[in-house]
Structure 1
Amino acid sequence: MKARGMDLWQAWNLAEASTSVLSSPGFHSLILQLATPHHHKLPYSTTSPFLRVSIKMSRSAREISSPAEWSTVVEGTKVCVVLFYSPSNAASLEAIHILEHHSQGLEGRGTVLELAKVNVDEVKAIKSAYSITKLPTTMLFRNGKEVDKVSGDNIPRLTQLIEKVKQAVDSETTKKASGSANSWKGAALPRGYVDITDQVELNRSELLNFDTETGGVRALLSSEKPSALSGGKATAKDWVESDTDDQLLLFMPFQSMLKLHTLQITSLPPTDDDDDEAPMRPKTIKLFVNKSHNLGFDEAEDLQATQDIELSESDWNKEGTASIPLRYVRFQNIDSLVLFVVNGDGDSEKVRIDRLRLIGESGSARDMGKLEKVGDLPGE
């Protein structure tokens, strides 16, 4: 890069450099101001003593500035690489450059992979907790647990570690995407998010007031196409109907901490049935998060919901599916979901749900004895 015949690095050698770093969630901006000594005559004319260069990068490594943020990032991410550094340490600055370089292109990874850094001069509590004595030090965490460590000025080892982690996560993500592509979808997924319905712990889930002659929780969360869409009159009862009235109460604990973005509900009641008792679609729904067990119906009626949902006829697509966007900030790091169908959209005493899909991001596993393999990572 040259400035009217003068190489930028030549200008740098003549100048005193001051840097300021501006960060925001979407980009990292670096502004270099080169102040030239007055006794040097620059080989181009300028009205300002400053040569200004702006560099914008799409993403930067996340700066962890407190123990609380450490818990959120490291424990809420499947795979996390953390660099401990000091601005006064030359080797640290080189390591930061490597980390920032590999942070590019990580948009959309969410809670799958995070590259982060900790200034040990500012956050001494974390430095002490992990006995950091050499700088820079890089640590690799899987589901909040340390599995590898690179201490001291070992840039080749650091580079190798980060590249191996990225390749392993990419491979696992590709496998999951391939498997997800083969499952039935009642509606398109929001961009940047995936189907995380498989994170529900089926053995601990509970569904109240459902007709036992129809399906249960496994039918609701099945990845198969509903039999009602197979053509003709459905015979396999792979759906759920309420029993004594039009209410259902479903408790779903998760295998990992989730960030829930969208709820997709498929309801396919018969359209050619004149029976007044034919089931109907749900209309009013209440959602509750982070409950250790299911609620009672009276409790669910009275308790303030994390989100209240009111569905109308226009919300259902041709596949009988309603995509419900959630207030994302309220559904961060949740370990369970209670879905309460308050009533249906008609006068029947039965409500019907064929499929339920959870869309979002999954994070660290809650049960360390049932870790999901991320890939060929150190420590596995």
Structure 2
Amino acid sequence: MAANFKVLTEDAQFQTELNQAGAKLVVADFTSARCGPCQRIAPVFADMAGRFPNAVFLKIDVNQCSGAAASQGVSATPTFIFYRNKTKLDSLQGADPETLKARVSQHYGDGDSEEMEDSGVPGHIDLLPMVNKSGCECLNESDDHPFTQALNSAGGYLESDTDEQLILYLSFNQGVKVHSMRIKAPADCGPKTIKVFINQPHTIDFDTAESANPIQEITLSPKDLEGELITLKYVKLQNVMNFTIFIKDNQTEAETTQISYLQIIGSPVQTTKMADFKRVAGKKGESH
């Protein structure tokens, strides 16, 4: 059995595992020994631990851990709930292997969650695992210091190429609510004036970015560039599929602009699909 697959037998273990997982994806299978569909999908769930090594898979019997099940609103088995940084991302009811595999793949991302930092905002997470990196783009980035180097805190930096301006386009693999962001950058050549746009049909160009009305325009101080929380207009950022940042200038009119780290903080849009909440099919007495 894979080391990242764990069977819980006590309520207290559940919160301990969430705390220890940190930024890793946690997939919890709330199951029952008396549930036929649960037993049929159990080998599939256990096999996923080997396929997704940087996630944590928890098998939780609702009869042994009734407190944990009740606290998570589990009303039928099997119920699969997805977490990151102790925040619930998604849930799925029923024993459909293909749907479960697709949902795990969606939330797992590229599996580099160990590089993530805690968001520091209760109820919200670093949205990096929900960024579709193949769908991201940066206009005017240096070949030697591309956008990807600013998407983790492991070193490296993004630098503009021919002048101080940059356009950063991030695409998410699902709808998200964006609460805030953090930027770490040098005090002299870090960004100063930025415009935020959302849900653009394609990456906007510099002329459009200059003239269009953004969701929010922000003037950053050198203090902001030390990783201070930059609050965004959360009420206007409730269903974001892509997020564009236009960097108009930098702090000292330096030739190029640099960003060491960019963190976007928020949470997934919790969209209830009635198909996910149908009672588990099976013989009488099989489902919990």
Normalising by the smaller structure, the TM-score range is: 0.5 to 0.7
1:293 maps to 202
TM-score by length of 2: 0.56
The CA RMSD measured in Å over matched residues stands at 3.6
One of 167, 186, 191 as aligned partner of 1:249: 167
Give me the identity figure in percent: 27
1:308 maps to 217
CA distance in 1, matches of 2:238, 2:83: 26
Contact 2:189 2:250 in 1 (8 A): yes
CA distance in 2, matches of 1:175, 1:331: 19
CA drift of 1:188 comes to: 5.2
Relative contact order: is structure 1 or structure 2 higher (C-alpha 8 Å, sep ≥ 6)?
Answer: 2
TM-aligned CA distance change 1:183 to 1:213, over 3 Å: closer
State the number of aligned residues.
188
CA drift of 1:202 comes to: 1.2
Contact 1:256 1:364 in 2 (8 A): no
Structure 2 runs not aligned, ≥5 long: 1-66, 90-110, 282-288
SS at match of 2:207: helix
CA drift of 1:330 comes to: 0.6
Whether 1:266 and 2:198 are equivalent positions in the alignment is: no
Q: Superposed, which structure 2 residues align to 1:215-364 within 5 Å?
A: 216-222=146-152, 224-226=153-155, 238-268=156-186, 280-316=189-225, 320-363=226-269
CA drift of 1:327 comes to: 0.9
Q: Superposed, which structure 2 residues align to 1:158-237 within 5 Å?
A: 159-161=75-77, 164-165=78-79, 168-169=80-81, 182-185=114-117, 189-214=120-145, 216-222=146-152, 224-226=153-155
CA drift of 1:284 comes to: 0.6
Amino acid at match of 2:265: I
CA distance in 1, matches of 2:260, 2:231: 19
Structure 1 runs not aligned, ≥5 long: 1-100, 107-114, 116-157, 227-237, 270-278, 366-373
SS at match of 1:315: coil
Contact 1:263 1:358 in 2 (8 A): yes
1:39 maps to none
TM-aligned CA distance change 1:280 to 1:159, over 3 Å: closer
SS at match of 2:167: strand
TM-aligned CA distance change 1:181 to 1:329, over 3 Å: same
Amino acid at match of 1:217: F
